[in-house]
């Protein structure tokens, strides 16, 4: 079952996850112990370099695995850490857009954990760990998720266009947020918690992982 993990999860383990709506595979590491309805759980979060640029000067943020989102030789823009250009993902579907893909980029909501340059370019954003962090809380004995929040932001890439009056005075390139998503749940249901507390868990409680766009793997 792709919505559960093997039992006896350790704090030193990592969770490998493919999030379809983010078009990418991500890894989560242990952050802290949490508790839900009397059940102990381990919180796993994305490391600081999850959306790091492959050229970031900070080795703690740099992520060479993200080089596929930066293909300058094919005319795609490369962004600083915290924002990934999705144009290469869509290039086969949208060659009519100046030979490249649809002008979208992905980040965490309100540019949480992104380079300050993105926050400085637009107003009204207030990144918050509590509201915008991506996390999964896992019951270590059973491997069942007790809570998870998949959060990300879709941005449009706006470029100066001298042929359009209103866009002549734009910045050469602007990453502009236009919506952000939140999927998942913050607490297990009472029924789910009760079943997990039983001496022997014979089956996955109903509703676990239902509707999620995540596929989990154990490392």
Closest CA to 17 of 148, 141, 201: 148
Please give the chain's pLDDT, 219 residues, in tens: 445 688 899 999 999 888 776 777 889 999 999 999 999 999 999 999 999 999 999 999 999 999 988 888 888 889 999 999 998 887 765 555 455 568 899 999 999 999 999 999 999 999 999 999 999 999 999 999 999 999 999 999 988 877 787 777 777 789 999 999 998 999 999 999 998 888 644 455 555 544 555 555 444
Q: How many residues does the chain have?
A: 219
Residue matched to tokens 């491997």:
143
Calculate the CA 132 to chain-centre distance.
10
pTM assigned to the model: 0.81
Who's near 169: CB < 8 A, 6+ residues apart? 160
**Confidence at residue 99, expressed as pLDDT on a 0 to 100 scale:** 52
């Amino acid at each position: 079952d792709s919505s559960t993990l093997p039992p006896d999860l350790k704090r030193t383990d990592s969770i490998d996850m493919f999030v379809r709506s983010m078009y990418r595979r991500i890894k989560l590491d242990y952050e802290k112990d949490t508790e839900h309805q009397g059940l102990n759980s381990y919180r796993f979060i994305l490391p600081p370099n999850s959306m790091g640029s492959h050229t970031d000067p900070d080795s703690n943020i740099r992520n060479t695995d993200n080089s596929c989102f930066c293909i300058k030789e094919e005319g795609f823009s490369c962004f600083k850490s915290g924002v990934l250009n999705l144009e290469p993902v869509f290039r086969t579907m949208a060659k009519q857009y100046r030979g490249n893909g649809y002008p979208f980029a992905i980040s965490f909501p309100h540019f949480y954990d992104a380079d300050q340059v993105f926050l400085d370019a637009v107003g009204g954003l207030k990144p918050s760990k509590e509201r915008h962090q991506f996390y999964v809380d896992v019951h270590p004995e059973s491997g069942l998720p007790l809570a998870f929040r998949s959060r990300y932001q879709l941005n449009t890439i706006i470029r100066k266009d001298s042929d359009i009056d209103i866009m002549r005075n734009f910045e050469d390139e602007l990453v502009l947020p236009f919506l952000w998503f939140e999927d998942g749940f913050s607490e297990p249901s009472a029924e789910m918690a009760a079943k997990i507390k039983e001496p022997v868990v014979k089956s996955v409680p109903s509703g676990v992982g239902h509707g999620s766009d995540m596929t989990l793997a154990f490392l």
